[in-house]
Structure 1
Amino acid sequence: MTQPPPTPASPTPSTVTVIIPAHNEEFGLPATLRSIKAQSVPPEKIIVVDDGSTDRTGEVAASYGVTVLRPPSNLGSKAKAQNHALPHCDTDLILAVDADTVLAPDYIERLKPAFADPSVNVAAGNVQTRFTRTPWERGRSTEYLFGFHWHRPIQQLANSPMVCSGCCSMFRREPLTKFGGFPERTIVEDMDFTWSQQLEGHRAVYVSDAVAWAADPETLTYLRKQVWRWMAGFMQNVRLHLPRLLTRKPMLATWILLALLEILLAPLWWATPLLLAVNAPIPLTMAWWVGGELLLTVPALLYAARRRHIPIIQVLFNLPFVYLNKAVNLYYAWKALLVELILVPLRLSRGLVTYEKGR
């Protein structure tokens, strides 16, 4: 009996368009464009969406010889700016890059092989902090070192990444277009798309060796705006997706429930020294609390420092600043939980609908 010829494998996607949404980014944009132009595997097209800038963002972008799109007025969010560029893309892959993010020279080269698997619709690399000048940036650098070298690898091993970071994610163009583009229904399009694709049976991938450096909030004012957007967006996605995730993607639902549990229990952990001090000397109580905290964080940070070739003394110096960021994170996590998971379902609030830049 003659066997039918084997079905040819789908070709690995090869062409890439980079989309950079930019609003008043004349100072940060040049470093981003230089890093993209210096890629070992260059993209076929680079599109900058000059979204209602009042500075020289458009002229700066044009000076690098890239395509510049200018909507008639400010679109109001990163997702809307990205969607404005999507009809101008005809490549296999779309790489979305923030206008203040710098890519390692081999970022595209390391990310593209993930799409040899036809089930992969979105992938992103390892994000680190570009600057460590202020306490808030130092705290964020510690958060990123820990998260991208502890949480993300575990989630990747379980085939359930929580998010492909929006500052440097690569997407398969056809599924993204079919989905309706970058999601605008929540305030964080990256998490929304990451969860939505996994719900539909597709894969999201974390590529640890593809490195990008993001410019993070340098002041408390901007940190509060960014963290409020992130936390509100997380809770919006919990409200939108968690019921289906529990049955269709239980491992991803597990990470989400653990994150919610951590938010709920965090005040108790912070209050532990005071609670224990009732029956134990304060120095002993603080030594126990600090020792437990360091045991949970330092080993992962030392491993991350070695992977990223960062001096250990620098990582240890930045470690105390993470607790400033944690306090901000906790406040806005509880605010988001109250607003997005209680007040919005009760129709007592619209939730966060206005996109504000975090720097």
Structure 2
Amino acid sequence: MRTITAIVPAHNEEEGLPATLESLARQTVPPDRVLVVDDASTDRTGEVAASHGVTVLRPPRNLGSKAKAQNYALPHCTTDLVLAVDADTVLAPDYLETVLPVFDDPTVSVAAGTVRTRHTRTVWERGRSTEYLFGFHWHRPIQARANSPMVCSGCCSVFRRDDLMSFGGFPERTIVEDMDYTWSQQIAGRRAVYVSDAVALAADPEDLTYLRKQVWRWMAGFCQNVRLHLGSLIRHKPLLALWVHLALLEIITAPLWWATPFVTAATTGQPLAVTFAWWAGAELLLTAPPLIYAAHRRKLPLAGVLLNLPCVYATKTVNLVYAWKALLIELVLVPLHLARGLTVYEKGRADTPRGRTTARTAPVGAG
């Protein structure tokens, strides 16, 4: 029987933490121990965690990033497996029961399930919900069938502790530790696994201010990992390198695709309404089938899923802006020693309903 420790890094998370800890307590296969790292919170995070009967670890100062907080807890883990779960993520009751069997394969180093949004109240949450449904029911299954997933989501990943310790813990050299570890393990010949039936609900940014912070961190982190790992991926994990190149190609060509109806109207003399209708129809043809499948698979109201579809263009616009910014800074200016790259870890949500937020500083390798 495998043993498992859950690590929950928490910085000013008194509002969302109870739901996370309750979801861990409700697991059909509960973790043997839960460690909450109260990372210099200025609210009641520590007291809330203690009231749930879990072990609370308090570093002497703010550690600066999620990976550092996780590494602070790692010496306290003596179990076979380690579950890293964000303090705003709620796991389905059978999450661990569903994920754990993949570790019967001794080559599996890390595994994670499907991520969905906890809330769909604002245009940004609705857009992110659509992105998740599309990505986890189109891109991720294809990558899984090819045994080369792009990332095991950091909000809900299970790690083989021996591999994690041998690697030196959660990587701190990039701003997104989950992608760094997923790529590193696959380069080393270990397996990363996507478990589609395991579901985690994440609290995503509800306004543009925090969406921008999250997307910038994700895009900069992706490019940092490209800078750090691409050569090794090409040599040791070519299919994963293919997904990375396709992602880069999508970023580069996205402005051309979005400009297509306007360019077509200008060069052919057709009314913009006509060219835009053809463009929108092509978009719908490419996007709708995975969403329809996702609605069926997750037993979601199809009308609600499709009504959220226009919202994804708001989040896609933010994604595109920061993807290009990341390409320029992390893949051009940093190698030329003209910029340092992203080193500040900022959460994608306000700390509390009153809106306090604290930036965390994390070291980022130059690659």
Q: Report the TM-score range of the alignment, normalised by the length of the smaller protein.
A: over 0.9
**Residue number among 84, 89, 92 corresponding to 1:101 in the alignment:** 89
Query: Residue 345 of structure 1: which of 331, 335, 340 is its match?
Result: 335
Residue of 248, 257, 262 corresponding to 2:236: 248
Structure 2 partner of 1:9: none
Deviation at 1:282, TM superposition (A): 1.6
Amino acid at match of 2:336: L
Whole-Å Cα distance in 2 between the matches of residues 226 and 47 of structure 1?
A: 25
Match of 1:49 in 2: 37
Amino acid at match of 1:154: I
Counterpart pick for 2:200 among 190, 212, 219: 212
Equivalent of residue 305 in structure 2, options 288, 312, 315? 315
Hey, what does 2:292 align to over in structure 1? 302
Q: In the alignment, is residue 177 of structure 1 matched against residue 153 of structure 2?
A: no
Structure 2 SS opposite 1:254: helix
Partner residue, 1:231: 219
Query: Could you list the per-position Cα deviations for residues 79-110 of structure 1 after superposition, in whole angstroms to 9, with x for gaps in the alignment?
Result: 00000000000000000000000000000000
Say yes or no: does 1:73 pair with 2:42: no
3-state SS in 2 of match to 1:153 = helix
Report the Cα offset of residue 37 of structure 1: 0.1
Query: Over residues 13-51 of structure 1, what are the superposed CA-to-partner deviations in whole Å (9 max), with x where a residue is unaligned?
Result: 610000000000001000000000000001100000000
Map of 1:291 onto structure 2 = 281
Q: How does 1:27-46 map to 2 (within 5 A)?
A: 27-46=15-34
Q: How many residues align?
A: 347
Deviations 1:233-278 (A, max 9, x none): 0000000000111111000000000000000000000100100102
The question of 1:328 aligning with 2:318 is answered yes
* Secondary structure at the counterpart of residue 43 of structure 1: coil
CA deviation map 1:56-93 (0-9, x unaligned)? 00000000000000000110100000000000000000
Of 189, 200, 215, which residue of structure 1 is paired with 2:188? 200
What residue is the counterpart of 1:19 in the other structure?
7
Q: Does 43-52 or 276-285 show the bigger shift?
A: 276-285
AA matched with 1:121: S
Structure-2 separation of matches of 1:178 and 1:52: 28
1:119 maps to which residue?
107
Of residues 259, 267, 275 in structure 1, which corresponds to 2:255? 267
How far 1:200 sits from its partner (Å)? 0.2
TM-score, with structure 1 as normaliser: 0.96
Distance in 2, matches of 1:206 and 1:127, equals 11
- Mapped partners of 2:274, 2:217: distance in 1: 39
**SS of corresponding position for 1:175:** helix
1:355 paired residue among 327, 345, 358: 345
Give the deviation of 1:287 after TM superposition: 1.1
**Distance in 1 (alpha carbons) for counterparts of 2:274 and 2:348:** 40
Shift of 1:286: 1.0
Which deviations, in whole Å up to 9, do the C-alpha atoms of 1:274-332 show, x marking residues without a partner?
00102122221011100000000001100000111110111111110000000000000
Q: How does 1:156-171 map to 2 (within 5 A)?
A: 156-171=144-159
Give the aligned CA root-mean-square deviation in angstroms.
Answer: 0.6
The equivalent residue for 2:77 is: 89
What is the match of residue 134 of structure 2? Answer: 146
Residue aligned with 1:109, SS: helix
State the TM-score, normalizing by the size of structure 2.
Answer: 0.94
**Structure 1 residue runs without a partner (length 5+):** 1-12
CA distance in 1, matches of 2:63, 2:122: 31
Secondary structure class of the residue paired with 1:277: helix
Task: Measure, in 1, the Cα distance between the counterparts of 2:15 and 2:271.
Answer: 53
Partner of 1:3: none
Alpha-carbon distance between aligned partners in 2 of 1:286 and 1:348, rounded to the nearest angstrom:
40
> In structure 1, what is the Cα distance between the partners aligned to 2:190 and 2:163?
10
Amino acid at match of 1:34: E
Q: Deviations over 1:109-141 (max 9, x none)?
A: 000001000000000000000000010000000
Question: One-letter code of the match for 2:211?
Answer: L
Gaps of 5+ in 2: 350-367
AA of the residue aligned to 1:102: V
Q: How much does 1:358 deviate?
A: 0.7
Letter in 2 for 1:333: A
Equivalent in the alignment of 2:362: none
- 3-state SS of the aligned residue for 1:183? coil
